[in-house]
Chain A
């Protein structure tokens, strides 16, 4: 199986450990990730989607044409990219007028959107294409962690359009994928709350964004989570960088390690924190890693 691997911006340009873990994971799963050469920003729905729909759809459609030329479905590990690419693909497949309008723009760069491929989310591929059974087989070191799953917004919603079979208010896909690693996905208040970064809010009004993040962190801490696991590099950045910003603004001392689901799988496959670039996170991942290692030592001693 081959998939066109859409990188986006924040993962490859800020948290390359997520990309590294994904490449190793898919190698282990015998799925070939094909680079989409010359792909760009998805583009960011909060800015392009909010400023000019035509530009947003044109740049997104251009990205999709790269995969169409490869004859492959797209995989993305970012909710924002998924939202942009999926929504654009969906819209242009449904609306012939819009498709024509966008193709007029793309004609200037010798491209044509055809509507031949699917856009899929990383977690969706793991559950629906790989399957839990096969996934379990790659776990070498079960993780003794209590984890707070953060779904983010543009992963399952709007459910009317998105083709992932899940409930928007009470989903289980991410929890299920977390538990395969041996970690426990624990319940917490307002689990489905947004991280606060989306819609262009983080750049426009950081205070409002941090108010969201603070609520999330309080609820996650109250539940006793060892780490936050997400499926979106933007949420990831918000919980990592944003956590230090919350601490600064509110005088709190949150210190909850943050993992992208791919990094969690990386840990379960026995990759080091350097390989996963966890050492570059602003929030120290060591407390969670120490807990995992302590468990190994205990098991080894037995």
Chain B
């Protein structure tokens, strides 16, 4: 039924054409369509070779049509296999990234971030490829089925005006499936060789170490959001409005929609080891536009709290913390500003912790009580960070 629903007209037209003796033209048309499709989608070299082989005029009989359909179905199978892989969320090589993170403590964050950018670029590319492949294949499937339909009607040319019945199509599909099985062995070896060739489009293939399983899920992580009063994490239906308006999403690998999803799923390591978590400027654009009133910025901040407590803190952030512990200000006074203040008739020091040592003592007591000093690695003896 689906078959008829989607393209009854083209089938009908082609059947008619066949019985008008224009068989060769039809097939030529098909192959031209294929060329067009492949050009439009800018497909992989493999497919182009398929198309060119049909273009070489080997499509002048129905059997070769079936051959084409075989190779296309083969492709479609591959894609469906990939699709099921995609369902399992891809890990951005968590292990590698951990090392990167450690490295980042020593090297500059910019460096680290550009690595991240690379990783995500790959991911983007591969996603794109997946999309375009899926599209391609559906187009190709269409064509191949058309060819099949032609075949059916030539071999059983009893009723020219009647569309092929569902039964016949089913029969035909079974045949194709058995063909697919034959092909699958070739496929495996093909994929292996492609894997060795790193330039190939098989970068989308996932290895076992890159898959997320139930073991990656930490329900306690999700619970931390609920307990913190951000129950709205559960209201998200992944519409993507947040990401669509996110200015950091435009510039960095930060994917706010994905972050919310991962927090809800409990993918703790995924979230806290990802540097892009820190690319949000907390501008609230996402939260203002969210049709489900999810407190997205609260989720980001909570995730950052958990990451920070797990040791994922950038040195510059610790430094700001250090300034507050030692002066009471994230941006303390400097000699130039003291001069300016004096010049315009303000006190050289503002009437803040800068002027009241006992007030600064209060800040330090608070930071000790909450453990913030330990969190950033503050050394009371030296008044510096321990690292």
Contact = CB atoms under 8 A, between A and B. Distances in A.
Contacts of A77: none
A212 B251 contact: yes
B366 A50 contact: no
B248 interface: yes
B352 A47 contact: no
B324 A43 contact: yes
A35 B371 CA distance: 30
Interface in A38-93: 38-41, 43-55, 58-59, 62
Contact of A159 (B248, B288, B309, B358): B288
A257 interface: no
Given A40-B353, A51-B372, A168 B278 contact: no
Interface stretch (A141-149, A196-204, A221-229, A292-300): A196-204
Interface in B118-156: none
Given A40-B363, A158-B287, A10 B331 contact: yes
A47 B330 contact: yes
B199 interface: no
Contact of A205 (B110, B321, B333, B354): B110
B320 A47 contact: yes
Interface in B277-306: 278-285, 287-288, 293, 295, 297, 301-302, 304-305
A152 B116 CA distance: 28
A16 B336 CA distance: 11
Interface size on A, as a range, is 35 or more
Interface in B343-387: 343-346, 350-356, 358-360, 362-363, 365-367, 369-372, 375-376
Interface in A116-164: 153-154, 157-160
A269 interface: no
Contact of A52 (B252, B320, B375): B375
Contacts, number: 225
B221 interface: no
A208 B251 contact: yes
Contacts of B363: 40, 59, 62
A291 interface: no
Interface residues of B, number: 72
B329 A204 contact: no
B332 interface: yes
Interface in A172-215: 192-194, 196-201, 203-209, 211-212
Interface of B is mostly: helix
A40 B287 CA distance: 29
A27 to B, nearest CB: 12
A109 B358 CA distance: 10
A16 B339 CA distance: 10
Contacts of B285: 192, 194
B251 A211 contact: yes
A249 B113 CA distance: 17
B109 A37 contact: no
Nearest to A46: B282
B321 A47 contact: yes
Given A204-B109, A205-B113, A160 B281 contact: no
A117 B278 CA distance: 33
A9 B353 contact: no
A51 B305 contact: yes
Contacts of A153: 281-284
A9 B305 contact: no
B18 to A, nearest CB: 57
B370 A198 contact: no
Contact of B282 (A41, A54, A55, A199): A199
19 contacts: A7-B351, A7-B352, A13-B333, A16-B344, A19-B346, A37-B352, A39-B353, A40-B353, A46-B282, A52-B375, A55-B367, A58-B370, A154-B284, A168-B288, A196-B281, A203-B319, A204-B317, A205-B110, A277-B340
Interface of B: 109-110, 113, 228-229, 247-248, 251-252, 278-285, 287-288, 293, 295, 297, 301-302, 304-305, 308-309, 313-314, 316-317, 319-321, 324, 328-334, 336-337, 340-341, 343-346, 350-356, 358-360, 362-363, 365-367, 369-372, 375-376
Smallest CB-CB A-B distances: 5 pairs: A38-B359, A203-B316, A157-B284, A194-B283, A40-B328
Given A9-B331, A39-B351, A51-B321, 9 more contacts: A12-B346, A17-B340, A41-B324, A49-B301, A59-B366, A153-B284, A157-B287, A158-B297, A277-B343
